[in-house]
Structure 1
Amino acid sequence: MADMEYTYLGETGLEVSKLCLGCMNFGSGWRPTYQDDWTVGEEDGVEVIDHAIENGINFLDTANTYSTGGSERIVGKAIQEYDRNEVVVATKVRNEMRQGPNGEGLSRKHILDQADASLERLDTDYIDLYQIHRWDDNTPIEETLSALDHLVNEGKVRYIGASTMPAWKFMKALYTSDVENLDRFISMQPEYSLVRRHEEENVLPLCDEEDIGVIPWSPLYGGFLTGKYEREEESPDGSRLGESGRSPDEVYSDEEWQVLDVVRELAKERGVSPTQVSLAWLLHNEIVTAPIIGPKTTEQLDENIRALGVALTDEEIERLEAPIDPVWTASQ
């Protein structure tokens, strides 16, 4: 297996592994108003986290809303076996935790309440990276940043980050931090993969200009880039698509299938898996800090880690990128 590699998160001195373990898959899957059936329970989740840390992954990403706190509890249990200083724990706030007033959002009340709840579930004294899960149009960004700055000053949070928003909103937040002398976002979590490259026309140039760390979510596009789906066939049992009752032909565009065809061709030529080719493409991108991988088993995790050993040529990267011309629209 490839040796783990490390890099700095944005312009900070915080060292993180070049693969980040996403923990959304761990827990009951229950959230207010709906249930996900593709998650795994505590025992399997702890096993994957243990295996990740033992293989050099020091960067774990979760959120309060994942399994309505269940994922954070699993992460908290797993990290008790390790030196806390050796693990970088990231979580998020914004999305609905309960129905009713103040059950979601980025108000000072919700942020401070949820930070304390996350600390309790994670069974830790501090959060390394506290991220806003989405923008909140109902709360002034000054209020949100002031609350996050307070958490940093209290020592409950080390760094703050953001996820998924138009570049102009992200720049507004960075500008506000600079003008008001408030703690600044050091990272961004955009959706980014070989078949979802719209952020190249939105937030990624801004991250490059402002030295913001980039932590892409869904680097395998919900499993599509693993090659487990086929045209004109039913979705595999246990897959997210299968649980939704939709077929691959309903969901994926012709351009996306064209990308997968190239991924499969290169994987066959290289003697590696489509997963490893897809992750290697992200790892070759200088703007990317660490893709957020989401394995549910140690076998899937090992396959992901081996992507670090796949060196793509410029010609291969051009082949992978050729089917899609990235476009950003406000609806994304």
Structure 2
Amino acid sequence: MKYARLGSSGLKVSRLALGCMSYGDPALGTHPWTLPEERASRFIAEALDLGINFFDTANIYSLGTSERILGSAIKREARREDVVIATKVYEAMHEGPLAKGLSRGAIMRELDASLRRLGTDYIDLYIVHRWDYETPVEETMQALHDVVRSGKVRYIGASSMHCWQFVKAQYVADLHGWTRFVSMQNHYNLLNREEEREMLPYCLAEGVGVTPWSPLARGKLARDWDARSTRTEGDPIQERFYGPTEQADRAVAQVVADIAGRRGIPPARVALAWLSQQPAVTAPVIGATRSAHLHDAVASLDVVLEDEELAELTRPYVPHAVVEYV
């Protein structure tokens, strides 16, 4: 396994993060394809054996059961100080007008709930899951600064917002001497490269680590385009992200498959290798529901794509419409 500092922070993470959205009680939340605890725990243990020390979850994933599964597995399999846990806040965990968002009350309440579920007394990386249009950014940033000062959180990160919003939040933190975000978890892969316009150059210039989600485009870069699974059949987000540009996206996926064929490796390794070679990227957040998913991801770190291959992979891309992540 290879390791790197998360942006310009002192936090050292594996070059891959294991995303835990696939682990949780399938009867809870909006992901009926999740793996229950007994099956999920095997993947967390295997990831640790492969040297992955970076685990990403969220309070909303399967209504908290993803956090519980991750926390229990780490307690059994690793020393807490050797593991980096990232979790997120924003989505509503219960009914009512105060349930959702990044108000001071919501952050304090949901942080304590996440700590209980994870069975730990601190979060390494606490991520705001979305931009809150209803709460002043000053309130959010001061609350995040306070939870860092309290010792319950070590670093803070952000996810899926417009670059101007991220810049505004960082400016507010600087203006008041509050804690800055050290990471951006955004939608970035060979099928959606819109973040290259503003967000990635900003993160690179400011020393912000980038941990892209959906690095394999919901699996479209890892298997035959028309293949179907339990997840693809129950994942409406997939059509919203990739449906309008299907023809161009097919062409990109075909290039991935062609290069993989020439090299004699699975397509997933090519797609992940491309992402890892992008200068702003610290650690893609991978999903794993089969052992091969983990092994392909780790093996991708040893794949060095040539300049001609990099150009070939990006040539068919067409601009995608902006997706509002709300």
Q: Sort the TM-score into its range (normalised by shorter chain).
A: over 0.9
Structure 1 counterpart of 2:299: 306
Q: Which runs of 5+ in 2 are unaligned?
A: none
Separation in 2, partners of 1:320, 1:271: 17
1:36 maps onto 2:31 in alignment:
yes
Per-residue deviation at 1:245? 8.5
1:242 correspondence with 2:233 = yes
Question: Aligned residue for 2:81?
Answer: 85
Residues in 2 aligned to 1:115 and 1:162: alpha-carbon distance in whole angstroms:
15
Q: What does residue range 216-231 of structure 1 map to in structure 2 within 5 Å?
A: 216-230=212-226
1:143-200 per-residue CA deviation (whole Å, 9 max, x = no partner) reads 1111111111110000000001111110000000000111110000010000010111
AA in 1 matched with 2:228: P
Cα distance in 2 for partners of 1:28, 1:74 equals 9
Residue identity matched to 1:18:
R
Do structure 1's residue 113 and structure 2's residue 104 form an aligned pair?
Answer: no
Instruction: Choose which of 145, 161, 164 in structure 2 pairs with 1:149.
Output: 145
Question: Hey, what does 2:309 align to over in structure 1?
Answer: 316
Whole-angstrom CA distance in 2 between matches of 1:227 and 1:12 = 36
Which whole-Å CA distance do the structure 2 matches of 1:247 and 1:170 have between them? Answer: 25
Rounded to whole Å, the distance in 2 between the matches of 1:186 and 1:22 is 18
Aligned-partner residue type, residue 46 of structure 2: H
Per the normalisation by structure 1, the TM-score is: 0.93
Letter in 1 for 2:229: D
Which residue of structure 2 aligns with residue 51 of structure 1? 46
What CA distance in whole angstroms lies between the structure 1 residues aligned with 2:64 and 2:236?
A: 26
Q: What is the aligned partner in structure 1 of residue 131 from structure 2?
A: 135
Question: Which one-letter code corresponds to 1:207 in the other structure?
Answer: C
Match of 1:69 among 64, 70, 73: 64
Contact conserved, 1:77 with 1:123, CA < 8 A, in 2?
Answer: yes
C-alpha deviations, 1:59-92, integer Å up to 9, x for none? 0000000001010000100110211110000000
Q: What aligned pairs does 1:9-24 form with structure 2 within 5 A after superposition?
A: 9-24=6-21
Tell me the residue number matched to 1:182. 178
Shift of 1:43: 1.0
Cα separation, 1, equivalents of 2:205 and 2:284: 20
Secondary structure of 2:100's partner? coil
* Contact 1:44 1:297 (C-alpha < 8 Å) held by counterparts: no
Q: Distance in 2 between matches of 1:246 and 1:107?
A: 27
1: CA distance between counterparts of 2:183 and 2:289?
25
| Partner Cα distance (1:330, 1:70) in 2 | 28
Identity of aligned residues (%): 45
- TM-superposed CA distance for 1:300, in Å, is 1.7
User: 1:5: which partner in 2?
Assistant: 2
Partner letter of residue 75 of structure 2? Answer: Q
Q: Secondary structure at the match of 2:301?
A: helix
**Which sections of structure 1, spanning at least 5 residues, go unmatched?**
none
C-alpha contact 2:225 2:250 (8 A) present in aligned 1: no
Distance 1:216 1:278 in 2: 13
Number of aligned residue pairs: 322
Q: Aligned letter for 1:294? A: G
Distance 2:164 2:238 in 1: 36
Q: Which residue of 2 aligns with 1:26?
A: 23
